[in-house]
Amino acid sequence: MNQNKFYALSLFTLFVFLLIAPCTGLAAETFSRALMLSESRQYSSDWYSFPNGHPFSNDNPVWFMTAYGATLGDAPFPVTLNSTQTGPVTLSYLGPWGTALNLSATPFMPSPIGSYKAPGGDWENVTYTFTVGDATATWNFPAGSLQQLPAIAPVTATAGEHPTFTWNAVAGADAYDFVILDIDYTRTPQFARPLFVSAPFADDGSPTFSYTYTGDLFAQGIDYPVWIRALQFHPLSGSDARYHEEVLNRSTHVMKHRGHATEDLSTWTLEENVGANFYIDDQDSARFFFNCTSTDGANSDGYLHKSLPPDAIGMIADVTVLTTTTTGNSEWGAMGLRANLADTPQGTMISAQIRAEWSGGSQRIQCRLREHKADGSVYRDLMRVNQHYGWTHYQTVPMGVAVVNKSVVFWAEGRGLFAVPLPDDVIMRSDDPAIFMSIDPGAMEMSGMVDNVRVVTKDNPMVFGAFDNVCDINGDGKIGLEEAIGALQAVSAVGQP
């Protein structure tokens, strides 16, 4: 193996390099990179849940092919790929990389995820032709070159904002690199949007390898995906400039890292009503599973709650609906967070609730601010906003509720931070926040998981430190009169019956 391979830049590292290099005055489309590679990808079951039988469930690796096109020019897409193995395919445009480079890519997933053949001999000795505008580039795999590298396992990580990740050597790997990925509103890893890419480091024959991250991404209170990659370079690297320093096969491990402390839910108080079952994960006390079943025509619900320390301002949790069984469009099941936030001069109390709700196959996030009578019963809704969207089972919905600068803040990742202001004469609370689940009689059954519960404090507000969107009633995207009236009435007696 040519020694240059050991220090070769991986695909994304090359992309980053090209972002730095200025490129002006380009009129015609050209390729900066056009290549294909095989990847054996594994999702850690400690962090990612898949339905039973899914190819990625239970730490199973899936081996597939991917085509990449990195282009330059005034109109650097669409990029097309044509071969006897793939047929004509337009690669998915993934967006600009700086001012000069654009990236397109398409994975070719085998059955049952996709309809393509698994990597191997069928993909070898085939000419793959990439086209953008008038520019073309070709790619080829020599016979016997495609191989599924062993899984990267086990992977361990130290705690904190600057973790060290350690794993065993992978047979056949020439080098390794370490990537932190961005996420979308469902917390799905965005493989084309890396937030950090390390320089590759050579496999020098050591039995284990480690990488220590020293940046500040994990200080933000968000669990970012970590993508550890074992790289094997093209056999023609070093002898053919077209394939020099290009990855042919890679094995990758996808996990997450927490740079912050999570709550030990086993110390919280458990409240059960008929039909509610709860248990704490034995391996992770910040993970909580529950099931509600309605078989007697009554509501089913239950919750965990705890009095928080004086410096607490709220909490954040990752909520996942696992299963639902309904009998019609009117039934609903909901899971989420709620907290008693403030006492008013009139002797009433204000509470907030954010929840993921499933109703007749429709999904939504609901933010609700309520005023309660002295006995705790509901007096009225001050603010209630529904946001419909298309999440499905097994999709994580990160959410939170807190009080920041005398404003009630609802947080639903990907949908903004929503705030309703409260007057200065309320007395703020931090007692008895709850993680809850509830279904109505017709919903029959619902199960879910709450994971990674974090108590947010004044000294560590995390994502609640600032907000610029609102849960607005009139839809103007601002905290305005209509949003404030309900909260003002609740604490002033003006307009109350």
Q: What is the DSSP string of 46-89?
A: TT----TT-TTGGG--EEEEEEEEEEESSS----EEE-TTT-SE
Residue 90 confidence (pLDDT) = 97
Residue 149 confidence (pLDDT) = 98
Residue type at position 194 = P
The predicted-structure confidence for 399-434, as pLDDT tens digits, reads as follows: 889 888 778 888 876 566 778 888 778 888 767 788
- Whether residues 233 and 281 share a domain: the answer is no
Q: Is residue 467 part of a domain?
A: yes
Q: Is the pLDDT of residue 114 over 80?
A: yes
- Whether residues 253 and 269 share a domain: the answer is no
- Whether residues 339 and 253 share a domain: the answer is no
- Whether residues 169 and 278 share a domain: the answer is no
Closest CA to 422 of 467, 488, 368: 488
Q: What is the pTM of this model?
A: 0.69
Residue 357 confidence (pLDDT) = 86
Question: Which pair of tokens denotes residue 478?
Answer: 């601002």
Q: Is residue 497 part of a domain?
A: no
Q: Is residue 472 part of a domain?
A: yes
- Whether residues 30 and 68 share a domain: the answer is yes
- Whether residues 379 and 429 share a domain: the answer is yes
- Whether residues 76 and 92 share a domain: the answer is yes
Cα distance from N-terminal residue to C-terminal residue, the chain? 83
Q: Is residue 13 part of a domain?
A: yes
- Whether residues 324 and 233 share a domain: the answer is no
Q: Which of 257, 277, 295 is the last residue of a domain?
A: 257
Q: Is residue 124 part of a domain?
A: yes
Q: Is the pLDDT of residue 157 over 70?
A: yes
Residue 462: what are its φ and ψ, rounded to 5°?
55, -130
Question: Do residues 199 and 280 lie in contact, with contact meaning Cβ atoms separated by under 8 Å?
Answer: no
- Whether residues 327 and 302 share a domain: the answer is yes
Residue 255 confidence (pLDDT) = 96
Q: Is residue 153 part of a domain?
A: yes
Highest mean pLDDT out of 34-43, 264-273, 311-320, 330-339:
34-43
Question: Cα 80 to chain center, whole Å?
Answer: 29
Question: Which pair of tokens denotes residue 351?
Answer: 């509470």
**β-strand 30-43 against 247-257: which pairing, if any?**
parallel
- Whether residues 92 and 193 share a domain: the answer is yes
CATH number for 299? 2.60.120.200
- Whether residues 210 and 276 share a domain: the answer is no
What is the C-alpha separation between 81 and 87, in angstroms, rounded?
8
Give the range among 182-196, 251-265, 334-348, 481-495 with minimum mean pLDDT.
Answer: 481-495
- Whether residues 332 and 447 share a domain: the answer is yes
Residue 486 confidence (pLDDT) = 45
Residue 451 confidence (pLDDT) = 86
Closest CA to 229 of 189, 260, 266, 267: 189
Closest CA to 95 of 192, 224, 184: 192
Q: Kindly indicate the confidence band of residue 17, based on its pLDDT and cuts at 50, 70 and 90.
A: very low
Question: Which pair of tokens denotes residue 135?
Answer: 């520019």
Domain count, the chain: 2
Q: Is the pLDDT of residue 460 over 80?
A: no
- Range of 406's domain? 265-492
Q: Is residue 39 part of a domain?
A: yes
